[in-house]
Amino acid sequence: MNKGFNVNTITGLIEPARHCSSPNQDERPEGAMPELLVVHGISLPPGDFGGPEIEQLFGNNLDWDADPYFGEIRGLEVSSHLLIRRDGELIQFVPFMRRAWHAGESCFRGRAGCNDFSIGIELEGEDETAYSDEQYEVLAGVTAALLAAYPEISARKIAAHADISPGRKTDPGPAFDWLRLYDGIR
């Protein structure tokens, strides 16, 4: 059950979503297909929600001098396939058949370079702050639609950024309720 979300496997786009293309993407390696979903948490500046900074970061137009924290990430070129805002708004930055730059140095079940074979989903949030009901509802619907569109992905191939980059990343953190996600995609 995809709960109203539809993935076009030809274009790599999901509807309904607002589409905002990121330059931080490239071709997947030859023969690579989406086989893994990676759940992230992000807020910019840390702990602030609702502003334009995440989209600006993914679009390479963040004002690096607007907040002291931005100096720590100055020049970072990253993206994700999707962002789910706290109010449930879904934004797509990279088509699913292309490689988004979300995982960095990573490994899943002995296979390195997770960007090559994964779909990255960012949740607007932080490790210690509960994610919203709207985010869980949209994430469950999006996940169900992706599982239906890409049979190589299964519920056993959904990981936290912290799982694929241990010691380097902690998101989506202890505030994320994995059982709530799994119950929502049934």
CA distances from 123 to 28, 49, 83, 85 (A): 23, 11, 6, 6
Q: Which amino acid is at 147?
A: L
pLDDT per residue as tens digits for the range 129-166 = 999 999 999 999 999 999 999 999 999 999 999 999 99
Mean pLDDT to the nearest integer, 74-80? 97
Q: What is the mean pLDDT of the chain?
A: 97
Whether the CB-CB separation of 36 and 155 falls below 8 Å is answered with no
**At a CB cut-off of 8 Å and minimum separation 6, what does 142 contact?**
5, 14, 82, 84, 90, 121
d(CA 161, CA 60): 22
Sign of the C-alpha dihedral computed for residues 185, 129, 79 and 86 taken in this order:
positive
pLDDT at 143: 98
Band of pLDDT at residue 186, cut at 50, 70 and 90:
confident
Looking at 35, 53, 55, 122, which residue is catalytic? 122
If you search the block for the tokens 């980059």, which residue do you land on?
Answer: 165
Mean pLDDT to the nearest integer, 55-82? 97
Q: Is the pLDDT of residue 1 over 60?
A: no
Band of pLDDT at residue 41, cut at 50, 70 and 90:
very high
Rounded-to-10 torsion of CA 58, 60, 65, 70 = 40
Residue (of 27, 17, 20, 86) closest to 58 by Cα position: 20
pLDDT at 53: 98
C-alpha atoms less than 13 angstroms from C-alpha of 34 in its C-beta half-sphere: 26
Give the SS3 label for residue 32.
coil
pLDDT at 129: 97
Mean pLDDT to the nearest integer, 65-76? 97
For this structure, is 122 an active site residue?
yes
Give the SS3 label for residue 112.
strand
pLDDT per residue as tens digits for the range 169-185 = 999 999 999 999 999 99
Mean pLDDT to the nearest integer, 48-73? 97
Which superfamily, per CATH, for 6-184? Peptidoglycan recognition protein-like (3.40.80.10)
pLDDT per residue as tens digits for the range 89-106 = 999 999 999 999 999 999
Q: Domain ranges in the chain?
A: 6-184
Mean pLDDT to the nearest integer, 68-86? 97
Band of pLDDT at residue 23, cut at 50, 70 and 90:
very high
